[in-house]
Amino acid sequence: MESYLLDWANLLLRWVHVITAIAWIGSSFYFVFLDSSLTPPEDDDLKKQGVSGELWAVHGGGFYHPVKFNVSPPKLPGHLHWFYWESYSTWLSGFSLFTVSYLWSAGTYLVDKSRMDWAPATAVVAALAFLVVFWLLYDAICRVFGQRKNGDAIVGALVLVLVCMASWLACHWFAGRAAFLLVGAMMATAMSANVFFWIIPGQRTVVADLKAGRPVDPIHGKRGKQRSVHNTYFTLPVLFSMLSGHYSFTWSHPQNWLVLILMMFAGAAIRQFFVMRHGFKLGRNAHPWPYALVGVLVLVGTIFWLRPAPVDAITSEAAGAVSTGAGSHFGYEKVQAVLQERCVQCHGPEVQMKGVRLDTAEQVAPRAQLIYQQVVLQKLMPMNNATQMTDAERDLIARWHAAGAPVQ
């Protein structure tokens, strides 16, 4: 019953998380586009009000005319829309999902004893520390270097180094799939913290100054804009890490930390292309195609690097079974022994994870294709290879499947 309820919690939290993430990322992308696409106002009245840029757009059958004030409007409107619940809801639902999916069963999903043999509670503390420590270091980098000359370049380089270090540590300390997700959660936490600690407080200060009739310090807008831009570069790397759990060929690779870094770097480069592209259309900068090219080349290079090795010919025993139909002579006893030793702990008469039993031939036969996919192709099972299944045993199951998956 616990497993069943956790599955429902996982489904519903994932649903909410995707919905709120779409809302947050959508508004973030829109405002980055808006900032890059604004043109100086033509109307004299707008200029007198302190408008620094305007945009005419058509969408959904209507025309829109958003404007941006240089520092603040001359007068606050009666209703001011704030953008922060999208961020907070995304983080809260994401952290809840991370808790249900990984922290709740840390010994199974977070710990890989071949990498770091520590207690589940210790692994949970270490995972939570990743979220906190990364934010503190990232925030310190922005505070120290963000306002200096060429500060954006310095901050970008240092944050890149910080992300690389965190990726290496996560992939050496935690199970591969959990490590990828943890790095994404780490960056997403920094994104939401930017909103909570910098963007919204700065906006509240500006609003309070306007209401009190005090002059508005433009530094609040500059800091908020800086953190908002950082968030947009984090977005594609975070999305990759969240999706990577479905593609074991990335996080199960021996150098999975490098795979993660390369994919996140490609995502950030491609995002840079889209950010700069709007400014290019208005003649503000050179065509940003080199960023897109670098991102695509990194992706292509990674695809080529991760290509699977040529599959050896089926052994003569399996080939004979396939050609003659003598599948029953393959030797199911050996496969059964592997299943008993490596799989039945979680899929037997006492424990039936996901409602699957593999302790009898009758239970194995209808699941032969699933076993092949999970054990051989994706290498998802045993989970984090907790029972230490060997490559030779996976090869045995592959040959058994090629022989028609006999169970007699």
- Average pLDDT score over residue span 112-132: 93
Backbone angles phi, psi at 297, to 5 degrees: -65, -40
Q: Cα separation of 298 and 130, whole Å?
A: 27
Dihedral angle over CA of 149, 152, 156, 162, nearest 10:
70
Reduce the secondary structure of the chain to three states and give it as a string. Answer: CHHHHHHHHHHHHHHHHHHHHHHHHHHHHHHHHHHHHCECCCCHHHHHCCEEEECCEEECCEEECCEEECCCCCCCCCCCCCCCHHHHHHHHHHHHHHHHHHHCCHHHHCCCCCCCCCCHHHHHHHHHHHHHHHHHHHHHHHHHHCCCCCHHHHHHHHHHHHHHHHHHHHHHHCCHHHHHHHHHHHHHHHHHHHHHHHHHHHHHHHHHHHHHCCCCCCHHHHHHHHHHHHHHHHHHHHHHHHHHHHCHHHHCCCCHHHHHHHHHHHHHHHHHHHHHHHHHHCCCCCCCHHHHHHHHHHHHHHHHHCCCCCCCCCCHHHHHHHHHCCHHHCCHHHHHHHHHHHCCCCECCCCEHHHCCCCCHHHHHHHHHHHHHHHHHCCCCCHHHCCCCCHHHHHHHHHHHHCCCCCC
Note the pLDDT tens digit of each residue in 316-369. 444 444 444 444 456 788 888 888 888 888 888 877 777 788 888 888 888 888
Angle at the Cα of 70 from the Cα atoms of 65 and 75, rounded to 5 degrees: 75
Residue 313: pLDDT above 60? no
Confidence tier at 312 by pLDDT (50, 70, 90): low
Note the pLDDT tens digit of each residue in 69-119. 988 898 888 899 999 999 999 999 999 999 998 998 898 889 888 889 899
Residue 181: pLDDT above 90? yes
What integer pLDDT is reported at residue 1 of this predicted model?
64
Note the pLDDT tens digit of each residue in 204-241. 999 999 999 899 999 998 999 999 999 999 999 999 99
Higher-confidence position of 62 and 326: 62
Higher-confidence position of 180 and 247: 180
Name the token pair of 372: 């092949």
Higher-confidence position of 64 and 312: 64
What integer pLDDT is reported at residue 330 of this predicted model?
64
Question: End-to-end distance of the chain based on CA atoms, in angstroms?
Answer: 33
Q: Cα separation of 271 and 277, whole Å?
A: 10
| Mean pLDDT score across all residues of the chain | 88
pTM beyond cutoff 0.85 = no
Confidence tier at 310 by pLDDT (50, 70, 90): low
Peptide linkage before 308 cis (omega within 30 of 0): no
